[in-house]
């Protein structure tokens, strides 16, 4: 397997100037290949999923923590170098890099199994460079082994869209055999819906995209309607994936008594005033979702393999990362966009086997 030489350079995308996506906030640059720290492994990137969080970082909704950051936190690749203190992986192993890449291990949250709420976390593609590049490094304790069932293209979206969807589903507290409503149906939602169906829940989808509604029905969801439409029956739980605060009261009104709404996104537009009697009374709850624990990731990857999730992807060559983000912004992606380091074609079709 080729290994980067000392002082080698690589191609990468950076957030040059955060702003509207159509103004071109990303720039393709040449960067030194990163050298792994003693506790890190370096991977030769094969694929990297394109997440809505990347879009928020590029557009400035999430102010960059480091200038000219390399986005991308759904990274699949092969270990080509390892720090002196590492022992989990061997050269050539396939690993995944996800959003959460460091926690302090000592704060009150880490000490009680809630490392997603760590007081000193670091995140891939926000605090440290991510996978829109030929190589990336990660602390080996935060890297994932990936199920053989998924190839490099279909494994990439699992590492954020899948993991965060899993945590959102857990936070939604869907009762056994319950009825779940999903608002927005992109890369994360289409995986979460399949997990919910695998668990025996009924799933209703509300989304503005006609293509997404067709995908929802093809995956086995009971109904698919417009984003603000009422589901055909009261919901035991709901998950809001669309970054649209105006849908919070819509989803709350659709909940049955005692229902829970989980908000899955890291960014949400302004929530309008809520009506207590019609939207919160009868013990309806609103819960946010913040990152994930490593245990969430491990549990999700195991369940994804057991459930045989169908990962619907649209493949883009790495040199078209800017176009992939623009397509995501304009709702032109049906499923999950994935950057392919080895692709040499236009990103306009689902990946083989997806």
Residues 6+ apart with CB under 8 A from 265: 52, 240, 241, 242, 243, 289
pLDDT tens per residue, the chain (354 residues)?
A: 456 666 799 999 999 999 999 999 999 999 999 999 999 999 999 999 999 999 999 999 999 899 999 999 999 999 999 999 999 999 999 999 999 999 999 999 999 999 999 999 999 999 999 999 999 999 999 999 999 999 999 999 999 999 999 999 999 999 999 999 999 998 899 999 999 999 999 999 999 999 999 999 999 999 999 999 999 999 999 999 999 999 999 999 999 999 999 999 888 999 999 999 999 999 999 999 999 999 999 999 999 999 999 999 999 999 999 999 999 999 898 889 999 998 543 333 333 333
Separation CA 107–CA 327 (nearest Å) = 40
β-pairing, 143-145 vs 94-97, is antiparallel
CATH (residue range 162-288): 3.40.50.720
Q: Which of 74, 29, 42 is nearest to 55 (CA)?
A: 74
CATH architecture type of domain 9-159+312-340: Alpha-Beta Complex (3.90)
Domains 9-159+312-340 and 162-288 alike in fold: no
> How do the domains of the chain map onto residue ranges?
9-159+312-340, 162-288
According to DSSP, residue 116 is labeled G
Q: Report how far residue 238's alpha carbon sits from residue 225's, in angstroms, rounded to the nearest whole number.
A: 14
Tokens representing 232? 């055909």
Instruction: Identify the residue whose tokens are 């899955």.
Output: 264
DSSP secondary structure of 213-277: HHHHHHTT-SEEE-TTSPPSS-EEEEEE-SS-TTHHHHHHHHEEEEEEEEE--S--PPPPPPPII
Separation in Å, CA 100 to CA 82, 190, 204: 20, 22, 30
Q: Quote the DSSP letter at residue 330.
A: T
């Amino acid at each position: 397997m080729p290994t980067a030489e000392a002082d080698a350079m690589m191609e990468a995308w950076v957030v040059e100037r955060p702003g509207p996506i159509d103004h071109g906030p990303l720039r393709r640059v040449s960067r030194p290949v990163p050298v792994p720290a003693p506790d890190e492994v370096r991977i030769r990137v094969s694929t990297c999923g394109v997440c809505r969080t990347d879009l928020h970082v590029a557009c400035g909704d999430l102010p960059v923590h480091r200038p000219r950051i390399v986005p991308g936190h759904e990274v699949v690749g092969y270990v080509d170098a390892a720090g002196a203190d590492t022992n989990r992986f061997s050269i050539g192993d396939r690993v995944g890099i996800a959003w959460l890449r460091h926690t302090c291990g000592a704060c009150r949250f880490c000490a009680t199994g809630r490392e997603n709420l760590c007081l000193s976390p670091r995140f891939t593609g926000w605090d440290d460079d991510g996978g829109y590049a030929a190589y990336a490094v990660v602390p080996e304790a935060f890297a994932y082994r990936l199920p053989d069932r998924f190839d490099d293209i279909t494994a990439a979206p699992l590492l954020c869209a899948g993991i965060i969807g899993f945590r959102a589903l857990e936070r939604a507290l869907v009762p056994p055999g319950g009825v779940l409503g999903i608002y927005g149906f992109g890369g994360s939602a289409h995986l979460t819906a399949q997990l919910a169906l695998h668990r025996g829940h009924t799933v209703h989808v509300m989304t503005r995209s006609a293509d997404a509604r067709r995908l929802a029905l093809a995956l086995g969801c009971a109904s698919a309607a417009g984003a603000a439409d009422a589901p055909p029956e009261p919901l035991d739980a709901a998950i809001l994936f669309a970054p649209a605060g105006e849908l919070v009261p819509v989803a709350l009104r659709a909940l049955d008594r005692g229902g829970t709404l989980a908000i899955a996104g890291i960014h949400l537009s302004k929530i309008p005033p809520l009506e207590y009697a019609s939207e919160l009374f009868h013990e309806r709850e609103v819960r946010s979702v913040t990152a994930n624990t490593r245990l969430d990731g491990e549990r999700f990857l195991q369940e994804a393999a057991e459930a045989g999730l169908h990962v619907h992807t649209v493949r883009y060559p790495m040199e078209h990362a800017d176009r992939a983000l623009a397509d995501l912004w304009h709702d032109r992606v049906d499923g999950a966009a994935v950057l392919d380091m080895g692709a040499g074609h236009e990103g306009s079709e689902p990946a083989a086997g997806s």
